[in-house]
Structure 1
């Protein structure tokens, strides 16, 4: 099991960052949805995803993809947030369809039915769709070059000799 985890370290770290981002999204979305954005659930979801995306950039850059790079930092950040914007749209799309195309909202369904539909469409389907897109796009465009930042890998791995000590 350890060998499998080591082989897929980036994916495991990406998943942990994603899980934390999911909790951030969920918390912010529902706090907003049940307080100041009661009549704007898709907006609440978008705000939650935006805040989680900022956390995600820092965590993915410095931890998940810490040895990847290949771009100047400003270019990398711009691509990250552009791709995250596309993913945000993909994340919100299922909830938008649920609410406004399928009318899975009060008064057409019960409040419980509405909340279950919002959770499944926005938090589950939307998050899954956005996450799959991000994994592919981040590796392809944002952090394309493996081993581009070996200094940070050296700091985390005692098996890699430090140039300064030599």
Structure 2
């Protein structure tokens, strides 16, 4: 049993069946949680040290590092059963989509910081940190994750490996190659065209006497 299946097995019904039908989304959410931790640690490390006055710059750097980790985890785990593109093309689209996601994630932070001025000294340090967390990691990440999940499935990993090819045969028709030697009129393969027995005398005199 995989890690995801183990987690889903502990989910109560009817949510368990829903989670099983959307296993990719569950994996994507787990990867998102992992990169969220990476993003948060880098962001607050920079913001509370060398980039104290530049929170947006700190967020962009943290976002870029998190996106690299996200590509590796999503490519090798969340969407490992998907593909359809050459690796360099896939990577280009992944980072392009993720770049848009990063923009979406820091737009709420920009509004919070420079439109509502929720920054020291206009507000307390506690208020500033709460505002940064809500705008960047609650609102921003929800916007980013919704967009990225849709775009990854639609553009980056568009095809599922091992998909069943639909048959073009009519319902109930025999597969090609079966009954290749059958007579189109339904006659037996070895039957005489005129319905005669193979050993019948051509003049109708029964079997030939070989004595």
Indicate the TM-score class for this superposition, using the shorter chain for normalisation: 0.7 to 0.9
Instruction: List gaps (5 residues or longer) in structure 2.
Output: 1-10, 164-211
Q: Measured at CA, do residues 146 and 86 of structure 1 come closer, stay the same or move farther in structure 2, by a change above 3 Å?
A: same
Counterpart check, 1:92 vs 2:98:
no
Matches within 5 A, 1:1-150: 1=11, 2-147=16-161
Q: In the TM superposition, what is the alpha-carbon distance from 1:146 to its structure 2 partner?
A: 1.4
What TM-score, normalized by structure 1, do the two folds share?
Answer: 0.86
**Which of 1 and 2 has higher RCO (CA within 8 Å, sep 6+)?**
1
CA distance in 1 between counterparts of 2:110 and 2:162 reads 39
Q: In the TM superposition, what is the alpha-carbon distance from 1:132 to its structure 2 partner?
A: 0.6
Q: Which has the higher helix share?
A: 1
Q: In the TM superposition, what is the alpha-carbon distance from 1:5 to its structure 2 partner?
A: 3.1
> Of the two, which has the highest radius of gyration?
2
Instruction: List gaps (5 residues or longer) in structure 1.
Output: 150-166
CA distance in 2 between counterparts of 1:88 and 1:134 reads 10
Q: Measured at CA, do residues 148 and 40 of structure 1 come closer, stay the same or move farther in structure 2, by a change above 3 Å?
A: farther
Q: In the TM superposition, what is the alpha-carbon distance from 1:124 to its structure 2 partner?
A: 1.2
Q: In the TM superposition, what is the alpha-carbon distance from 1:148 to its structure 2 partner?
A: 6.1
Q: Please state whether the residue corresponding to 1:37 is helix, strand or coil.
A: coil
Cα distance per residue 1:106-156 (max 9 Å; x no partner) = 12111111111111001111111111110011010000111269xxxxxxx
Contact 1:68 1:148 in 2 (8 A): no
CA distance in 1 between counterparts of 2:118 and 2:51 reads 18
CA distance in 1 between counterparts of 2:63 and 2:27 reads 19
> Once superposed, what is the RMSD of the aligned Cα atoms?
1.4
Q: Please state whether the residue corresponding to 1:36 is helix, strand or coil.
A: coil
Q: In the TM superposition, what is the alpha-carbon distance from 1:4 to its structure 2 partner?
A: 3.6
What TM-score, normalized by structure 2, do the two folds share?
Answer: 0.68
CA distance in 2 between counterparts of 1:89 and 1:3 reads 34
Cα distance per residue 1:50-70 (max 9 Å; x no partner) = 101000001001100001011
